[in-house]
């Protein structure tokens, strides 16, 4: 068996193992919507820890992040920086959301906000935003999986076929087991990719330079020294500005805990304690970005000029003399990263589309069993739509995803107001959200319109500057909501 | 759906971070934590991060710019742990006083 085939067989075995892990919990969970979407609100610490951790570390972690370190140096530290501070709001919001979810049967983020603000508009805006953000996200995960399988097979498996096989597996276990399928596979996959990342992140610098310290010493003494200085470089090799770096950290941190597929895992937690402990221990998961960045840095001196930079990890794998077994395991780790985010997104997107979109647009039409059937139907539809984009996509997908980051950050002030500002009203929330989203997209599409001197500031910041005053102003002009209704939210 | 006009006077205009039954010690701990959180956030942005943004000297074999972010991570972990342990201790005290905890019951929305 040649080395490509060995690696491919390992990837195949890995997919099979994931498939079995994903199917098993489906026999345990109740047949209700709360079972399918929120694991009957009984998820324990270990599974929640890996679900939150592994959902965040997507194929970007294995392909994009080393690429950033390789081509943009210290810019990549921004990925660690926003994660450090971005999970914290969930410590405060999460338990409140969980308790309200238990009381009212919420399973999505928008359900909570719609109930608080007594306004269906919030729900429909969030459903549209979520779908707009999730489809490019999912497409990128599929492409990552397809890319790895195509590389490891030496092109014998096309990118499209690789994506189809991997996401065929994901689709089946998401369909069958819902969020518990996501949970169990993510525990398995999260642990697997952590091991792979630490192994490669320490092995490559040692093999190529004699150690991590030796690698950075050589880099600091070389012509590449400037890339190690924060805020690092832009994709074109010029210096990134502090305004750009700082505002990117800020907006990503603000949006981090607001990603609907993460936020809604609050409802799955067994208790407040489990949820809080998960947030507290999140940095122990996050630290695995360090070896990931080391992989990228290890290519800078040894293999300059690799294009595109995102291919640095597969490129290194083909250059160093690693046993086919290990290459197979590393590729399986990348598949793990892709699948463990993709499954969570797919599951969340279908749930949100049905619960927040269709249910709200045509209230009272869907009973439990039909609703669950519809969510499953949308799991298939969304997989096919994303797969269609894998086949026809262009770079504009990345643009869409970037727009989504700034867009998701716009949920933050509304969520903050829902819990901590009793005077906030539905009209205020809708006005703030809409203004934030419009301004964000406007400046993303037309950066030349940004005010002079603030060209490098992330467009999400401008979105927030439109969002917050409108949320406050329109709420104050509007009539207050019922005090008893509000009390449940601010005093939960 | 319609807001009740007679409720207007009862809704506070300002922010309300805690319900009335939250003890002062919890309020202080959380307030302090939020301050620390803002401080750690500031560490990784302009104008503080530029003070530590150089590549050298290497700290434990890593560029200073990366080591600084990792220091922020460790500080964040430490302060989260401090907050969590404080909250836990307080929950235990409250449970001991009340003689019962906040046990959960299974949810379900579609019968």
DSSP A91-136: HHHHHHHHHHHHHHT--SHHHHHHHHHT-HHHHHHHHHHHHHHHHH
Interface test with chain A among B71, B84, B92, B109, by most A beta carbons within 10 Å: B109
Query: What does the pLDDT profile of chain A (492 residues) look like in tens digits?
Result: 677 788 889 889 989 988 888 888 877 766 777 777 777 788 888 888 888 887 777 777 778 889 999 999 999 999 899 999 999 999 999 999 999 999 998 888 989 999 999 998 998 899 888 888 888 888 888 988 888 888 888 888 898 999 999 999 988 888 888 888 888 888 888 888 888 889 999 999 999 999 999 999 999 999 999 999 989 998 888 899 999 999 999 999 999 999 988 898 899 899 999 999 999 999 988 888 999 999 999 999 999 988 888 888 888 887 887 788 888 888 888 888 888 888 888 888 888 888 888 877 777 666 667 888 888 899 999 999 999 988 886 655 566 666 678 889 999 999 999 999 999 999 999 999 999 999 999 998 898 999 988 988 999 999 999 999 999 999 999 999 998 888 888 776
Q: Does B39 touch chain A (CB under 8 A)?
A: no
Give chain B positions within 8 Å (CB) of A112.
none
Residue B39: partners with Cβ closer than 8 Å, 6 or more residues away: none
Residue A153 is predicted with a pLDDT of: 83
Q: How far is CA A66 from CA A119, A314, A399, B66, in A?
A: 43, 10, 20, 15
User: Taking every pair of C-alpha atoms in chain A, what is the biggest distance, in angstroms?
Assistant: 73
Global ipTM:
0.90
Q: Does B49 touch chain A (CB under 8 A)?
A: yes
CA atoms within 13 A on the CB side of A187: 15
Whole-number Å distance between alpha carbons of B52 and A85? 18
The two three-digit tokens of residue A417, written as one number: 């107001």
Q: How far is CA A413 from the centre of its chain?
A: 20
Q: Would you call the peptide bond into A61 cis, given omega within 30 degrees of 0 as the criterion?
A: no
Interface test with chain A among B60, B73, B88, B94, by most A beta carbons within 10 Å: B73
Q: Does A44 touch chain B (CB under 8 A)?
A: no
Whole-number Å distance between alpha carbons of A338 and B77? 27
3-state SS assignment for residue A233: strand
Task: Closest CB to A85: pick one of B40, B83, B107.
Answer: B40
Residue pair A440/A410 in contact (Cβ under 8 Å)? The answer is yes
3-state SS assignment for residue A58: coil
Contact B46 A243 (CB under 8 A): yes
* pLDDT exceeds cutoff 60 at B109: no
Q: Does A277 touch chain B (CB under 8 A)?
A: yes
Contact A483 B7 (CB under 8 A): yes
Interface test with chain B among A119, A228, A417, A489, by most B beta carbons within 10 Å: A228
Q: Does A488 touch chain B (CB under 8 A)?
A: no
pTM of the model: 0.89
Number of H helices, E strands in chain A: 24, 0
Whole-number Å distance between alpha carbons of A320 and A113? 52
Task: Closest CB to B45: pick one of A34, A102, A250.
Answer: A250
Rounded to 5°, the CA angle A29-A31-A36 comes to 65
Q: Does B37 touch chain A (CB under 8 A)?
A: yes
Q: Does A242 touch chain B (CB under 8 A)?
A: yes
3-state SS assignment for residue B35: helix
Scanning every residue of chain B, which has its alpha carbon at the shortest distance from the alpha carbon of A277?
Answer: B84
Whole-number Å distance between alpha carbons of A74 and B54? 10
The two three-digit tokens of residue A72, written as one number: 């943009």
Whole-number Å distance between alpha carbons of B66 and A200? 19
Q: Does A420 touch chain B (CB under 8 A)?
A: yes
Task: Closest CB to B76: pick one of A85, A422, A484.
Answer: A85
Q: How far is CA B3 from the centre of its chain?
A: 32
Q: How far is CA A316 from CA A69, A195, A401, B25, B36, in A?
A: 14, 18, 27, 54, 41
Contact B88 A273 (CB under 8 A): yes
Residue B4 pLDDT grade (very low, low, confident, very high; cuts 50, 70, 90): very low
Determine whether A214 is exposed, middle or buried from the number of CB atoms within 10 Å of its CB (0-12, 13-18, 19+): middle
Residue pair A275/A90 in contact (Cβ under 8 Å)? The answer is yes
Q: Does B90 touch chain A (CB under 8 A)?
A: no
Q: Does A216 touch chain B (CB under 8 A)?
A: yes
The alpha carbon of residue A3 is apart from the nearest alpha carbon of chain B, in Å, by 34
Q: How far is CA B24 from CA A306, B21, B90, in A?
A: 58, 9, 11
């Amino acid at each position: 068996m040649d080395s490509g085939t060995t690696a491919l067989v390992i990837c195949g075995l890995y997919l099979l193992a994931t498939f079995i892990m994903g199917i098993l919990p489906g026999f345990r969970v109740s047949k209700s919507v709360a079972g399918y979407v929120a694991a009957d609100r009984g998820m324990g610490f270990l599974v929640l820890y890996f679900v939150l951790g592994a959902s965040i570390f997507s194929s970007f972690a294995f392909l994009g992040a080393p690429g950033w370190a390789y081509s943009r140096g210290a810019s990549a530290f921004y990925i660690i920086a926003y994660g450090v501070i971005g999970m914290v709001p969930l410590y405060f919001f999460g338990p409140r959301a969980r308790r309200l979810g238990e009381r009212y049967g919420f399973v999505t983020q928008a359900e909570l906000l719609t109930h608080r603000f007594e306004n269906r508009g919030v729900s429909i805006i969030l459903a549209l935003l979520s779908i707009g953000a999730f489809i490019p996200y999912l497409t990128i995960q599929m492409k990552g999986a397809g890319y790895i399988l195509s590389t490891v097979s030496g092109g014998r498996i096309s990118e499209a076929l690789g994506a189809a096989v991997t996401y065929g597996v994901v689709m089946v276990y998401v369909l069958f087991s819902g969020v518990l399928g996501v949970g169990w596979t993510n525990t398995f996959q999260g642990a697997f990719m952590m091991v792979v990342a630490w192994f490669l992140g320490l092995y490559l610098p040692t093999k190529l330079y004699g150690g991590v310290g030796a690698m950075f010493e050589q880099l600091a003494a070389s012509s590449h020294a400037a890339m190690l200085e924060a805020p690092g470089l832009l994709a074109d090799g010029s210096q990134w500005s502090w305004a750009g770096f700082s505002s990117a950290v800020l907006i990503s941190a603000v949006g981090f805990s607001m990603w609907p597929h993460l936020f809604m895992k609050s409802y799955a937690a067994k208790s407040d304690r489990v949820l809080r402990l998960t947030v507290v221990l999140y940095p122990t998961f996050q630290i695995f970005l360090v070896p990931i960045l080391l992989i990228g840095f290890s290519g800078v001196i040894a293999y300059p000029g690799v294009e595109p930079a995102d291919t640095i990890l597969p490129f290194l794998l083909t250059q160093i003399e690693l046993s086919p077994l290990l290459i197979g395991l590393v590729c399986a780790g990348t598949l793990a990263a892709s699948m463990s985010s993709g499954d969570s997104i797919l599951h969340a997107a279908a749930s949100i589309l049905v619960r927040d979109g269709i249910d709200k647009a045509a209230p009272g039409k869907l009973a439990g069993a039909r609703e669950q059937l519809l969510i499953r139907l949308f799991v298939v539809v969304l997989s096919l739509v994303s797969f269609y984009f894998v086949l026809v996509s262009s770079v504009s997908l990345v643009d869409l995803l970037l727009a989504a980051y700034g867009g998701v950050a716009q949920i933050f002030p509304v969520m903050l107001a829902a819990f901590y500002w009793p005077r906030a009203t539905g009209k205020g929330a809708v006005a703030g959200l809409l203004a934030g989203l419009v301004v964000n997209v406007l400046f993303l599409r037309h950066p030349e319109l940004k005010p002079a001197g603030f060209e490098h500031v992330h467009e999400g910041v401008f979105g927030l500057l439109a969002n917050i005053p409108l949320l406050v102003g329109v709420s104050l002009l509007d009539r207050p909501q019922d005090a008893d209704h509000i009390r449940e939210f601010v005093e939960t | 759906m319609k807001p009740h006009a007679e409720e207007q006077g009862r809704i506070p205009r300002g922010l309300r971070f805690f319900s009335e039954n939250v003890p002062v010690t919890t309020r202080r701990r959380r307030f302090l934590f939020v301050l620390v959180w803002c401080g750690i956030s500031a560490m990784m942005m302009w104008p503080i991060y530029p003070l530590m943004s150089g590549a050298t000297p290497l700290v434990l074999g890593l560029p200073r710019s990366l080591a600084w972010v990792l220091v922020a991570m460790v500080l964040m972990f430490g302060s989260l742990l401090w907050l969590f342990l404080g909250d836990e201790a307080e929950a235990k005290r409250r449970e001991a006083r009340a003689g019962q905890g906040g046990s959960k019951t299974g949810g379900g929305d579609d019968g």
